[in-house]
Structure 1
Amino acid sequence: MKSRLSNAAAATLPAAIAVPRYDRGAVTPGIVHLGVGAFHRAHQAAYVDACLADGATDWGIVGVSLRSPDTRDALAPQDGLYTLAIRDSGGEQLQVVGSILSLLVAPEGPGAVLAALTDPRIRIVTLTITEKAYLRAADGSLDEAHPDIVHDLSNPGSPKTAHGFLAEALARRRAAGTPPFTVLCCDNLPANGATLHGLLLAFAELRDGRLAASGDGSLASHIAGEVAFPSSMVDRIVPATTDADRERIAGEIGVEDAWPVMTEPFCQWVIEDRFPAGRPAWEKFGVTMVEDVRPFEDMKLRLLNGAHSAIAYLGLLSGHATVDRAFADPAIRQFVDWLWAEAIPTLPQDAGLDPIPYTAELARRFSNTALAHRTAQIGNDGSQKLPQRIIASALARLETGLLPEHLALVVAAWIAACAARGISLPESHFTDPLDSALAALLSRNLPTEEMVAAVFDLAGFAKGHSERQTLIEFVATHLAHLRQGGPALALAALGMGGEKS
């Protein structure tokens, strides 16, 4: 059996493997990251690693898992080290990343997480907790009835949610006279900084009401006036790590790595530059610091993420296990081009965006045969992802008199893929926060348009929008084709033609 990756082992790795060249023992924490999964380790942690190598040794990361101990259990015996494998069709580059100093598991020790968040050295809290963990109701507001929100309001000293941890930590820092940290959301939410600000503010207002009798004062006013929430846009494709990946990496580096991360060469991070307590010099390593991230965010959500969802659901229904295989399907490849043609006119026209070369780069990325990015992985949490990836573009087109035919097919494909689980797809091939309610609804065998309307009601899609019924009718037409003849009929019915404005 091979020895395990560690600080000591890193010094013995083959010369071709990049390893931390800085003294990790001299690095102090400056960032707490909530949601320390594969994406964070391929993206933000890699950027911070570059800053540490440049001498900024006060920006180490304390990683926090809000649910599972898996990442901690894998990386703690490795001194927090892991291998980042940057892969494309031409080969693979391996790098050992050392920016994560320690790992905590919130359910096992909420007090330890709060201690980390209240450490005066911590000046930034970053988050990649996935869309569903923000606990939003169908209208986008805080789901005040969610059991974890109810728990955190009653038990502020032992929270379960990101909202509970952030609120309690900010309250304790204020009481101690410690300046607040900056909260940097890195999830695929529209205006993610402002969105998280609003959700946390709503939580704090509920908390203030609960704690008013104790004279705690207004945490909500503190959050509203003194805590920065810059928005950011992140982009890097990170497929799930497989046992075959672990075996291959171990052979390359000569030691076992329990949780290496696979990714592509492309990496992008755009951040609004509002950090009152300071920040690493990320711009030295390719991060774009801007005043307003929204145009970049819109382009990424609607072109990259929207196309990813299309490829995932059409690919699943067509029997394609990975993105590159689905994208190599001529009908799906042509469909994505038309999807982009529908989405591009909905982007800000005066923001200096250049979507044509951007989509050309996306096509190259989707064709990367080395990543094996599973369509089922992308298919997770569609009810949370489709509003910003697809439905926003579709509604924007309808508002201006344009048709959303290809966009609407993506929503129909999601419904059809959900219905196919346990029939033509494995039972739990991908998951969604609405799975129980979706399963009950889809089992009722309603007429197609009635079914689509019920799904829209359940997921809160286009709620209150004047064009909601029109979009439902487009989706229902596509779902009828999918039910009758699968993706082949649905795509043929589009003719890969129509208006291209």
Structure 2
Amino acid sequence: MKQRLNRSSRLPAHVAVPDYNPADYGVGIVHLGIGAFHRAHQAVYTDEAISRFGGDWRIAAVSLQNSTVAQALNNQQGLYSVLIRDDPDTRCRIVACIDQVIALRTTATEPVRVQQFNRMMQQLTAASTKIVSLTVTEKAYGIDRRSLQVDTTHSAISEDLAHAGQACGVIGILVHALKLRRKEGIEPFTVLCCDNLPENGKFVRSGVIDFARRIDEPLAAYIEMQVSFPGTMVDRITPASTDELITEVETVLGARDEGTVETEPFSQWVIEDRFPGGRPRWEAGGAQFVDNVAPYEMMKLRMLNGAHSLIAYAGYVAGFATVRDVMQSAEFVVLVRAHMMAAARTLPRLDAVNFDDYAASLVQRFSNRAIAHRTYQIAMDGTEKLPQRIFEPALHAIQHNQSIEAFAFAVAAWMAYCRGVNDNGEPHNLRDPREKEIVSALRAHENTACGVYQALSALTDFMPEQLVADTVWRTAVIRHLEVMLQQGMLAAITQQCDS
């Protein structure tokens, strides 16, 4: 095994390295949830900003669930590589903007480590910390999307309300840190949600204020008036890192990098420019600053993420392991393209974007043979994703007399996936926060298209009532699902493409 990547590593000339000394710059950002996406996206933009414009904007990251990434990056002085794959070419760069990674837990099942919690709070309450960014996925917040209030049945929310001074959930951590800053007379940080959610700034703001109101009404009023929550739209396809990737990168670098990530050349970050305490010059990496991110957010959720969900469920059930494998099927490409254009018809006009061109670029990105984005990875957390990706455009289509077939097919594919077995007879776990509820509902109904639809459409607070009550929608979903169950997913795709 080669020596670990560090600041003294002698790297090959073809590996791009930052042109700044990390030790010359301080920390200005705390990031909660340092997964592969953050390392391939926001951290890269920050690295570019420091390289070109300087500033104390390095990142102190927090791993909320385990110590794997913390051990990897802390043993490498915060350095890691990004492998940018563009079939047939691959480029490699080093990112140096991570100052440290604090791991609250060793594993997800273990309690929070007090010393690490204190280190996190010390960084969150430092006057130098101007931004707290987040990529933790929707289920970690514990916010009910319909009411925009915290879900008191969510384990992290209930525990943090009972023990606010030792908060370990995302919302509780933010509220506790803001409370301490207010007490010490330190200006609040900006909260920057980078999760793939509609109106993500408003979403997190509502949850933080509601949580604060339950423990400290003046604090809630302070947050409402003083704390900024800009909205963002983020986009970069980033598969989960694997042991095979680490081995490959070791050959590329001549050093071992256990924090490496792989990604595509394309990257997009649209941000509402509301940072009272300042921000890095993320424009250096190509970030776009706008007054209202919502139209961009909606476009991405419905066209890209909606099509991704379709690919994940239909592709996995049909036996395709990766998105690139799916996109080798001509019929699948037709299906995906049709879904994107159906989604585009539900969107408001966006002067800066041609939806036909955007769809074409998405098909090209999904077809990148150098990126092995697994359908099973994308398929997880379906009950969290389908409402904004599929149900919302379906409702718009119904209200505006547009075709619902693309959305009905996607939902039918999800329902087929929920049965827990693909067309090759291979079983799988759903990896969904409501998996037990889904399995229980399916067991209580017949294993027919009608029975599966009845079971899954009746999940509480999931499918909108207007869709449940719409007979055209119900008929369309069951029709597609019946073909999937009786003839297989590929036959259903053929019929959909021929119709």
TM class by shorter-chain length? over 0.9
How far is the alpha carbon of 1:231 from its aligned partner? 0.3
**1:487 equivalent in structure 2:** 489
Cα distance between partner residues in 2 of 1:226 and 1:240: 37
How far is the alpha carbon of 1:461 from its aligned partner? 2.8
**2:137 equivalent in structure 1:** 130
Distance 1:376 1:466, change over 3 A: closer
Is residue 2:144 matched to residue 1:146? no
Q: Is the 8 A contact 1:87 1:370 kept in 2?
A: yes
**1:167 equivalent in structure 2:** 175
Runs of 4 or more, structure 1, over 4 Å off, are: 422-430
Cα distance between partner residues in 2 of 1:441 and 1:73: 41
How far is the alpha carbon of 1:135 from its aligned partner? 1.7
Q: Is the 8 A contact 1:139 1:463 kept in 2?
A: no
Q: Is the 8 A contact 1:111 1:157 kept in 2?
A: no
**1:213 equivalent in structure 2:** none
| TM-score computed with the length of structure 1 as normaliser | 0.93
Select the residue among 27, 36, 49 that pairs with 2:47: 49
Cα distance between partner residues in 2 of 1:360 and 1:387: 25
Q: Is the 8 A contact 1:270 1:289 kept in 2?
A: yes
Superposed, 1:434-449 pairs within 5 Å as 434-446=434-446, 448-449=449-450
Cα distance between partner residues in 1 of 2:18 and 2:199: 34
Superposed, 1:402-417 pairs within 5 Å as 402-417=402-417
**2:108 equivalent in structure 1:** none
Cα distance between partner residues in 2 of 1:145 and 1:97: 39
Select the residue among 453, 472, 480 that pairs with 1:478: 480
Cα distance between partner residues in 1 of 2:259 and 2:308: 25
The percent identity for this pair of structures is 40
- Please give the secondary structure, in 2, of the residue aligned with 1:122: coil
- Please give the secondary structure, in 2, of the residue aligned with 1:95: strand
Q: Is the 8 A contact 1:377 1:430 kept in 2?
A: no
Cα distance between partner residues in 2 of 1:461 and 1:163: 23
Superposed, 1:30-429 pairs within 5 Å as 30-106=28-104, 107-108=112-113, 109-137=116-144, 139=146, 141=148, 142-208=150-216, 218-349=218-349, 351-421=351-421, 424=424, 427-428=427-428
Distance 1:426 1:156, change over 3 A: farther
Q: Which runs of 5+ in 2 are unaligned?
A: 105-111
Cα distance between partner residues in 1 of 2:417 and 2:103: 34
Q: Is the 8 A contact 2:233 2:297 kept in 1?
A: yes
Distance 1:140 1:452, change over 3 A: farther
Cα distance between partner residues in 2 of 1:483 and 1:94: 44
Cα distance between partner residues in 1 of 2:72 and 2:429: 25
Q: Is the 8 A contact 1:295 1:353 kept in 2?
A: no
- CA deviations over 1:137-193 (Å, ceiling 9, x no partner): 473532112122111011112112110000000011001100110111111111110
How far is the alpha carbon of 1:459 from its aligned partner? 5.5
Matched pairs, number: 487
Superposed, 1:20-31 pairs within 5 Å as 20-31=18-29
RMSD: 1.8
Cα distance between partner residues in 1 of 2:405 and 2:8: 57
Cα distance between partner residues in 1 of 2:25 and 2:428: 42
| TM-score computed with the length of structure 2 as normaliser | 0.94
Q: Which runs of 5+ in 1 are unaligned?
A: 209-216
How far is the alpha carbon of 1:23 from its aligned partner? 1.3
Cα distance between partner residues in 2 of 1:495 and 1:466: 24
How far is the alpha carbon of 1:457 from its aligned partner? 3.2
Q: Is the 8 A contact 1:383 1:459 kept in 2?
A: no
